């Protein structure tokens, strides 16, 4: 019987230099993956905190339309702050028909409002000084005056009196306190118009 001889395959071992290069590559890959996981984790936390702040503490709103000109213009971006208290002259954001509108608080609960044919506003018998309005107008008004603001509600109007639909019209009426999202306190855009209110 003859014997079959098989050639042994030669196994080449990596050199010390190759082993070291592979170790370095492995370490770099491991460090990269760790950094990537850490970055994703941090970004997720930042995004979650931003959403929480934006919805609970500082809602962000982009202005649509011209009803608040010249104070706020179409495209402006503003921050609102949650507050339980509003004063006359404050700009407030409130929900109406699944929209968020911005108007100016003119009358507080219990106040008596009168508006003459020229659009001049009288608050509790005294003419209101309104330097933020460029042109007075009665606008879309279907209320009977004198009008008393109901309890827990606010009388709000736009600064562009001629075109603003607001509490002067029964379509919107006075705004219940629980519909008010917050008070405008800072305009962040455009940069040239950044300001606190």
Q: Which residues are catalytic?
A: 67, 103
Contacts of 147 (CB under 8 A, 6+ apart): 112, 113, 114, 155
Longest dimension (CA), the chain: 128
Closest CA to 121 of 164, 153, 180, 161: 161
Residue (of 101, 106, 152, 171) closest to 133 by Cα position: 106
CA distance 197 to 53: 19
* Structural contact between residues 91 and 84, judged by C-beta atoms closer than 8 angstroms: no
DSSP secondary structure letters along 40-74? HHHHHHHHHHHHHIIIII--EEE--SSTTTTTS-T
């Amino acid at each position: 019987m003859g014997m079959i001889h098989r050639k042994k395959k030669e196994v080449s071992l990596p050199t010390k230099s190759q082993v070291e290069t592979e170790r370095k590559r492995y370490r770099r890959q491991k460090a990269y993956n760790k950094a990537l996981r850490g970055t994703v984790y941090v970004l997720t936390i930042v995004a979650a905190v931003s959403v929480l702040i934006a919805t609970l503490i500082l809602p962000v709103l982009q202005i649509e339309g011209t009803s608040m000109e010249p104070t706020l213009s179409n495209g402006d971006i503003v921050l609102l702050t949650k507050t339980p208290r509003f004063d006359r002259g404050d700009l407030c954001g409130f929900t109406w028909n699944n929209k968020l509108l911005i108007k100016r608080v003119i009358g507080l609960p219990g106040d008596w409002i009168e508006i003459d044919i020229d659009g001049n506003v009288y608050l509790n018998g005294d003419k209101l000084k309104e330097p933020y309005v460029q042109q007075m107008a009665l606008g879309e008004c279907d209320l009977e005056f004198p009008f008393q603001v109901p309890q827990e509600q606010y009388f709000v109007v736009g600064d562009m009196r001629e075109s603003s639909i607001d509490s002067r019209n029964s379509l919107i009426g006075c705004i219940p306190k629980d519909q008010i999202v917050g008070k405008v306190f800072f305009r962040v855009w455009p940069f040239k118009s950044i300001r606190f209110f």
